[in-house]
Amino acid sequence: MRVDKSKRFQFIERSDRAKYIGLVYKDFLKGKVADIGSSGSDLRHYVEDEYIGIDILDAPEIDITVDLEKEKIPLETGTVDCVVCTDVLEHVDNFHEVFKELIRISKKYIIISLPNCFNYEIIFRIWFGKNIKFYGLPDNRPDDRHKWFLNHSETINFFKNHASTYGYSVIDSHGHPLKYRGFKGNIILALVWILSFGRYKQLSTMSSWVLLEIDK
């Protein structure tokens, strides 16, 4: 069982994120897989065995509808071989409680990703007084908000510190890089490298990923 680092690629769209998970974590998507915050359930195409799409929105492609801020995940304890929860926890106030729910239903692996809010794109937008999607103060009340403003290193450290509490270990972690476009993107990348003062990875990471495995 291994994470296929050679299959990592840069992406933006949710459907591409499902492909990313399906390729990079292929070895771990075995048995019963619960996809928390599944939205269009695109990951279903990459799971050979049992797939359960769980989301707050009720739709034909969703198997279980649940509001994580009000309800527990309606699955039995220790019955899911691999729990996938990507870009979900930042949307809930009860971050720690939902993380415990992921631990509860899992019996082997958990894949989690969270956005890095301290990347250069967000910092530049703050610097120049621009609106930040999911944050800031838009003219109209948004349907969705991020409740947590996270950086890459604290995210990785959080899961490393808390995993052991529940009998798990982080067996892989990485930062998924921002997607650069063309000549302008390369110029910005070079400037970030020069001005990062040793914090290049923090500034160039779009999202933070961890893979947890239950201790044997």
Q: Where are the domains of the chain?
A: 5-117+148-180+205-214
pTM, rounded to two decimals: 0.89
DSSP string for residues in 97-149: HHHHHHHHHEEEEEEEEEE-TTSHHHHHHHHTT---TTSS--SS--S------
Going by pLDDT thresholds of 50, 70 and 90, the confidence category of residue 200 is: low
Is residue 66 pLDDT above 70, yes or no? yes
**pLDDT at residue 144 tops 90:** no
- On whether the CB atoms of residues 21 and 43 are closer than 8 A, the answer is yes
Confidence category of residue 186, pLDDT binned at 50, 70, 90? low
Q: For 174, phi and psi rounded to 5 degrees?
A: -160, 165
Residue 30 has pLDDT above 90, yes or no: yes
Fill in the DSSP letter of residue 40. Answer: T
In this prediction, residue 180 has a pLDDT band, given cuts at 50, 70 and 90, of: low
Give the pLDDT score at 139. Answer: 81
State the pairing for strand pair 168-177/106-115: unpaired
Q: What's the pLDDT tens digit per position in 155-178?
A: 999 999 999 999 999 999 999 887
Calculate what percentage of the chain has a pLDDT beyond 70: 89
The reported pLDDT for the residue numbered 192 is 60
Tell which wins on pLDDT, 126 or 86. Answer: 86
Query: Which option is the CATH number for 5-117+148-180+205-214: 3.40.30.10, 3.40.47.10, 3.40.50.150, 3.40.640.10?
Result: 3.40.50.150
- pLDDT, greater one: 57 or 195: 57
